[in-house]
Structure 1
Amino acid sequence: MAKLQNSGKKHTEHKQENRIETKVAAFYDTYDYIAFWKGRDYENKADVIAVSKLLRKIKSPHKRIIDIGVGSGRMVPLYESKWDACVFLDPSNVQLEIARRAVKEPEKATFMQGAAESIPLPDGACDTALCTRAFHYVDQPDRAIAEIARILVPGGYLILEIPNKVHFKARVAAWFSPKKRQEIFSRDPVSRLVKEVDIVFLNHHPEAIAVALQSKGFVIEKVLSASNFRHPLFKKIIPLGILLFAERLLQRPLAGTWFGPSIYFLARKMKK
């Protein structure tokens, strides 16, 4: 496997991309991401269930994993002890410092500032990539997926979570709004501008992401639907344990209908 060092690629042609990275970094430098998850125990544990299921599908090798958009290190306990080396990538240095607190084995950790579209690693540096809660900011998923494919070895795995624009609640809402119906039928991402910070949040069509993965040399091995029951009424009247039991049971069956607001892909880079 390749040694860890910057790839040396010049990114002058990606100035717009770099501006987006800078905005995202500035936003998360001041954002309390840990506080965000308070009151979201169900969504957090639904993610943990999905990632744990998919990690178990990756038998070997377990040499080097990269967590793209690591944030506060929420997923670190799920894989840190299983891989020989871990790379933590985030556009925000502040979030990287917070992620350090989640790391129990610092001797095998590498922290890097960057984003999915421009990963400062050589080709074939990792055998596994994990990317959760990060594609909200990716407006060119083809480019990001190509970059992830570049840093994976042939046969390497990608666990990718995307915010789903055609989840069940969105489809119901589309019945009452011509604009929303048009958004649902299009495979283009749906954007929402957060004016206070001048950042666009994007939701993606799972079919468009599936096509992008396949076009970049990935084979999709498994798909899961997560946070399927995150409606405030469900969380208020149904005990957390029951919600998580249903979540664990239905993540795979509901994926076939793109039901939940988060869709997880387990994809493997084809061997040449």
Structure 2
Amino acid sequence: MAIRRLLKGHHYRKAADIGGGFGRLCLLLRTFADEVTLAEPAASQLEAAKRVLAGTDIKQVQMQADDLKFADGELDLVTMVRVMHHIPEPTAEFAEISRVLAPGGTAIIEVANYGHFKNRRRHKKEGIPLPTEPVDIRQTKADEPDAIAFVNHNIDTVVGQLAAAGLTLESKLSVSNLRSQTLKKALPKSVMLAAERITQKRLAKSNFGPSIFLKLRKA
């Protein structure tokens, strides 16, 4: 829903979904772009993508977000969703996204938001300011010493890092605002989706939800 709203009325020549897993979002992006590439570091996800994307013209390339295999200015649209959870220090990734985007190109980046309503309320009650640095939210000890990071971010800090990379914030949406198992059991799916649609834009200014979608433009 968020991606459709942010891209509505636009069409792009070349797009890539960074860290796109098995390619689910690539199918959506293909309706907004002439050419789409799934850029995914995990071989297992790319193997799964062969089945999901079978019969499409979506490209599948193994690459890391901090080392994108695209030429300077090659892309008009880049998306990176459900990836920032695993990047405590995204400066290199943002620099790469900016590099591969053409001037005026669009990036949509979803950020796991530490400063959502519940955390803000708790910090205020305890008299502790929200951290500006990423916060490790892993609830159990990692099995391996080199386990993938699992963090939430301060949105203002991330927007500043993006600006430093040459990506200017155009708009944002607050997503998963009613993420409650109780509500999901009590209300029909259609009602939950309608409430989500109404609140995404209205609650974006306060970074209310646990997931914030940022729409950015390269200068």
CA distance in 2, matches of 1:55, 1:84: 14
Unaligned runs of 5+ in 2: none
CA distance in 2, matches of 1:210, 1:137: 17
Determine if contact 1:80/1:105 at 8 Å carries over to the other structure: no
1:25-65 per-residue CA deviation (whole Å, 9 max, x = no partner) reads xxxxxxxxxxxxxxxxxxxxxxxx101111215x24x2110
Identify the residue that residue 30 of structure 2 maps to in structure 1: 80
Identify the residue that residue 64 of structure 1 maps to in structure 2: 14
Number of equivalenced pairs: 215
Question: Structure 1 residue aligned with 2:203, among 246, 251, 254?
Answer: 254
Are 1:166 and 2:99 an aligned pair?
no
For residue 133 of structure 2, give the secondary structure of its aligned residue in structure 1: coil
CA distance in 2, matches of 1:156, 1:220: 12
Are 1:187 and 2:136 an aligned pair?
no
CA distance in 1, matches of 2:74, 2:214: 21
Determine if contact 1:70/1:96 at 8 Å carries over to the other structure: no
1:160-198 per-residue CA deviation (whole Å, 9 max, x = no partner) reads 1010010012223335657xx35x2x2101113451253
1:116-148 per-residue CA deviation (whole Å, 9 max, x = no partner) reads 212122211211001100111112222211110
Amino acid in structure 2 at the alignment position of 1:187:
T
Please identify which structure carries the higher strand content.
2
Determine if contact 1:192/1:200 at 8 Å carries over to the other structure: no
Determine if contact 1:226/1:264 at 8 Å carries over to the other structure: yes
Identify the residue that residue 64 of structure 2 maps to in structure 1: 115
Determine if contact 1:127/1:156 at 8 Å carries over to the other structure: yes
For residue 75 of structure 1, give the secondary structure of its aligned residue in structure 2: helix
Determine if contact 1:161/1:265 at 8 Å carries over to the other structure: yes
Unaligned runs of 5+ in 1: 1-48
Q: Percent identity?
A: 33
For residue 86 of structure 1, give the secondary structure of its aligned residue in structure 2: strand
Determine if contact 1:129/1:157 at 8 Å carries over to the other structure: yes
For residue 215 of structure 2, give the secondary structure of its aligned residue in structure 1: strand
Determine if contact 1:64/1:83 at 8 Å carries over to the other structure: yes
Question: Structure 1 residue aligned with 2:190, among 228, 241, 244?
Answer: 241
Identify the residue that residue 220 of structure 1 maps to in structure 2: 169
Please identify which structure carries the higher helix content.
1
Identify the residue that residue 125 of structure 1 maps to in structure 2: 74
Segment of structure 1 superposing worse, 242-251 or 68-77: 68-77
CA distance in 1, matches of 2:52, 2:182: 32
**What stretches of structure 1 move > 3 A for 4+ residues in a row?**
175-178
Q: Taking structure 1 as reference, are residues 150 and 260 closer, same or farther at Cα in structure 2, changes over 3 Å only?
A: same
User: Residue 109 of structure 1: CA displacement?
Assistant: 2.4
CA distance in 1, matches of 2:204, 2:143: 34
User: Residue 217 of structure 1: CA displacement?
Assistant: 1.5
Q: RMSD of the TM alignment (CA)?
A: 1.8
CA distance in 2, matches of 1:93, 1:148: 21
User: Residue 229 of structure 1: CA displacement?
Assistant: 0.3
Determine if contact 2:87/2:149 at 8 Å carries over to the other structure: no
Are 1:55 and 2:7 an aligned pair?
yes
